[in-house]
Amino acid sequence: MIRISSPDSMRPEREYVYRLVFDVFLGVDYRVDYSPMNTQVQIRCDSIALVFPDIFFQSQEKTWLTDQYLAIVDPSADLKTPVWSEVESICGLFLNEQNDSMRNYAISEEGEKWRFTFDLFGSIFFLISRYEEHVDKSRDNHQRYRFESSILATHGLVSRPLVNEYVLFLRETLERVLPTASFKSHRFTQCVTCDVDFLRYPAVSGKFEKILYFLVQTIHGSGLKKSLKGLLSYLKALVGGYRFDLFNKFTEIASRARETNSTVIFYLMSGVKQVSQDGDYRLRNLIDTEILQTIKKYNVEVGMHGGYQSFENGDLLVEEKETLERFFFPNSENKLTASRQHYLRWTPGITAETLEFAELKYDSTLGFAEHVGFRSSCCYEYPVYSLTKRRELSLIERPLMVMDVTLLNPRYMGLASAEDAVREATKVKDQVMKYGGTFTILWHNSSLCTELEKETFLKITETGAD
């Protein structure tokens, strides 16, 4: 059993991060002794004590959810690790400034005390709780936290799962001082997901609006030839049936998941339409398509794609969820468990709590729309912590790492070739494979219309679980 001595302040946050690290991630028994006399975190391992500075929680005790953390966070620190570590270097966010002689190293082995020079537990909590998003109110036109405002963007850290790096480094250290200890093993998996925003080509609502779309594209967009080609495709599907629709790509996505031994989830909207962003279909429209047969044939999990306005509205979210459950499970007590919010809209202190209120078990919203990578600096599933309620929620987050629109849309990364897009996605995927996490990718059924989109999707998903 791991024995931990800890300061007693910020007790709910400390209890959460210790359970996250030792139970959820490492899978070891542990016990924590809290005392107001403790000024550091210490783990006693036979004759060796591991000592961790207590910086973040100590500083936030009287300044909770304020920007005072900016005075102590240092994402630029690049700490050297011992030769026995697989982690090449450590980005220590909160450093022990009192030990100048060791400030360039992640750990100092001093006889019976091995001292970490950075606040490992505070750093993990800060990153995985998305503390900065709660404090920094910078938002885009969809009320989403701006990627460019994050320290992950300003210091080029979004492609590194820092939490996994910290946990591996701690595990390696424990293995050296407790050679008989056994830890949880993590195996790489791939989860292919599809958000069904639009059922029929093109990606606008209503038949009149779809015709108008082609006229606008002719005048201001892609030109007459391409617009006419698109219009003919639309009319062909309108007359010949959904099998000719350019957005009918559900079998391709599900079969690709099966080929690569990946799990697959389709996130569907309920049809409880509030605003124009809420898709182009009602649930009854699914009957005229092939999506229901695909779900059954490939054993696709159905998740809820929360409507544009639902990310801060618990009653609306419950209505949408119950509408989906009545359609998919009319004669059973089955419930939807998985969700992802439309447009990746997420408000810290509200959205996760709203999802818990709706009795959803899993969410996969937390990824940046603007850039691929690790928004919560982690490639494992993890329980969400509410910074406002100051407790662990029953909601599990499955972090989203790569989205088609992020890679290819000019508003975001805007990569012009499959080679460039695959390279950026592979940087992320390689990290997930290294730590045995779950590589979660979002590919819309409306994003398999061009050769660029098809090639990118196939190459990114090439390697699934063993």
- C-alpha distances in angstroms, 461 versus 159, 212, 338, 340, 363? 18, 35, 21, 20, 21
CATH, residue 336 = 3.20.20.370
18 and 132 within one domain: yes
Report the pLDDT averaged over residues 262-287: 89
d(CA 283, CA 336): 15
Mean pLDDT of the chain: 93
List 48's β-bridge partners, or say none.
Answer: 45
Asked whether residue 221 carries a pLDDT value surpassing 90, the answer given is: no
How are beta strands 48-53 and 113-116 bridged, if at all?
A: parallel
Q: What φ, ψ does residue 217 adopt, rounded to 5°?
A: -65, -35
d(CA 196, CA 203): 11
Asked whether residue 131 carries a pLDDT value surpassing 90, the answer given is: yes
Report the pLDDT averaged over residues 259-269: 97
pLDDT at residue 202 in the model: 82
d(CA 396, CA 392): 10
121 and 20 within one domain: yes
Q: What would the two tokens of residue 201 be?
A: 């080509």
State pLDDT tens for residues 186-219: 999 999 999 999 998 887 777 677 777 777 766 6
Asked whether residue 391 carries a pLDDT value surpassing 80, the answer given is: yes
- 368 three-state secondary structure: coil
Q: Where on the phi/psi map is residue 47: left (φ > 0), alpha (ψ -120 to 50), or beta?
A: alpha
Report the pLDDT averaged over residues 133-155: 96
Report the pLDDT averaged over residues 314-333: 94
User: Exposed (0-12), middle (13-18) or buried (19+): which is 62, by Cβ within 10 Å?
Assistant: exposed
311 and 168 within one domain: no
d(CA 465, CA 264): 12
pLDDT above 70 covers a percentage of the chain that reads: 96
pLDDT at residue 218 in the model: 66
Is 183 part of a structural domain of the chain? no
Q: What φ, ψ does residue 243 adopt, rounded to 5°?
A: -60, -20
170 and 223 within one domain: no
Asked whether residue 24 carries a pLDDT value surpassing 90, the answer given is: yes
Neighbours of 101 (CB within 10 A): 8
Are 203 and 448 in contact by the 8 Å Cβ rule? The answer is: no
Q: What would the two tokens of residue 99 be?
A: 């030990």
Confidence class of residue 110 from pLDDT cuts 50, 70 and 90? confident
341 and 365 within one domain: yes
Asked whether residue 8 carries a pLDDT value surpassing 90, the answer given is: yes
Report the pLDDT averaged over residues 168-177: 96
pLDDT at residue 438 in the model: 98
Is 184 part of a structural domain of the chain? no
* Domains in the chain, number: 3
pLDDT at residue 297 in the model: 97
Report the pLDDT averaged over residues 132-140: 95
Asked whether residue 19 carries a pLDDT value surpassing 70, the answer given is: yes
Is 15 part of a structural domain of the chain? yes
SS3 track for 126-146: HHHCCHHHHHCCCECCCCCEC
| b/e per residue 254-277 (b: at least 16 CB within 10 A) | bebbbebebbbbbbbbbbbbeeee
* Residue-number span of the structural domain to which 138 is assigned: 2-177
pLDDT at residue 18 in the model: 98
Confidence class of residue 99 from pLDDT cuts 50, 70 and 90? low
296 and 195 within one domain: yes
pLDDT at residue 366 in the model: 98
128 and 39 within one domain: yes
* Encoded amino acid at 61, one letter: E
* Encoded amino acid at 35, one letter: S
210 and 228 within one domain: yes
SS3 track for 178-204: CCCCCCCCCCCEEEEEEEECCCCCCCC
pLDDT at residue 155 in the model: 95
State pLDDT tens for residues 34-49: 999 999 999 998 889 9
CA angle, corner 211, sides to 205 and 213, nearest 5? Answer: 70
pLDDT at residue 219 in the model: 64
Asked whether residue 230 carries a pLDDT value surpassing 90, the answer given is: no
Is 222 part of a structural domain of the chain? yes
pLDDT above 90 covers a percentage of the chain that reads: 79
State pLDDT tens for residues 427-446: 999 999 999 999 999 999 99
139 and 224 within one domain: no
Cα Rg of the chain (Å, integer)? 24
pLDDT at residue 104 in the model: 86
Is 466 part of a structural domain of the chain? no
d(CA 60, CA 75): 18
410 and 344 within one domain: yes
pLDDT at residue 42 in the model: 97
Is 465 part of a structural domain of the chain? no
Are 145 and 345 in contact by the 8 Å Cβ rule? The answer is: no
pLDDT at residue 259 in the model: 97
Asked whether residue 255 carries a pLDDT value surpassing 80, the answer given is: yes
218 and 151 within one domain: no
102 and 215 within one domain: no
pLDDT at residue 77 in the model: 82
